[in-house]
Amino acid sequence: MNVVSNDGSVVALVPAAGRGVRLGESTPKAFVAVGGTPMVRLAVDGLIASGAVDRVIVMVPAEFVDSAVALLPPSDSVRVVVGGAERVDSVRVGIAAAPDAGYFLVHDAARALTPPALIARVAAELRAGKPAVVPALPVVDTIKSVDALGGVTGTPDRAGLRAIQTPQGFAAGLLRDAYVAEGVAATDDAGLVELLGTRVHTIPGDPLAFKITTPLDLLLAHAVLDGADIRRAVGRT
């Protein structure tokens, strides 16, 4: 494991440097407003409201640094840095910006409505000694593997499948080790940790931690924030 001084603090890394083309908006996804507030601000507010995060580092496109600084809470604990070409590049930048972190929570800006209580649960599992923790939900659809022509090649047993959310939590040295190799490819951070042979633990996720990816997701997010009761439940009143 990388030997880096470790002050035991929980540092949240928020990748917000994607273009978000699937959302069909002209602004990068993290800067699209939900209920009047940009997603990246909602995500950072949720992390702070969890009470479990000491610092937040937000990775944004180079030309959005100034607007990110302006829209995020003015705090010494929140820092904005320039992200990279791919999500892994953005996370790598965030890791490098926190050499003294004890734990990392990697949390997509696109999961803007994640309840603070879920964030706190991930951090608590880390502090209790789990090296890698991810929120997981049972899948409701049947999942099939297909070949390049769209022919079905298999139907894994749904009972053994989970949809994985963020924040994904890691002992800091473990995540640093997982990101040592250049050119690594994975759709989530836990995937890189799994490649090291480390066991990743799941905890129950939350439907409100869904990733806002398509226009339908955006509509759903607006509807969620329109419901005052749900707004209270996710700590955003």
Residues that bind ligand C5P (CB under 6 A): 15-18, 29-30, 59, 83-87, 90, 108-110, 211, 213
* Smallest separation (angstroms) from ligand C5P to the CB of 67: 14
* CB closer to ligand C5P, 149 vs 216: 216
Output 82 or 124, the one with its CB closest to ligand C5P. 82
Q: Supply the DSSP symbol for 108.
A: -
CB of 59 to ligand C5P, least distance (A): 5
> What's the CA gap between 16 and 43, in Å, rounded?
10
Q: State the minimum distance, in angstroms, from the CB of residue 139 to ligand C5P.
A: 18
Expressed in percent and rounded to 5, the helix, strand and coil fractions of the chain are 35, 20, 45
Residues facing 170 on adjacent strands: 104, 132
Closer CB to ligand C5P, 22 or 127, in the complex = 22
Nearest approach in angstroms of CB 55 to ligand C5P is 17
* DSSP H or E stretch at residue 202: strand 201-204
DSSP secondary structure letter of residue 177: H
Closer by beta carbon to ligand C5P, 186 or else 203 = 186
Bond preceding residue 167 cis, omega within 30 of 0: yes
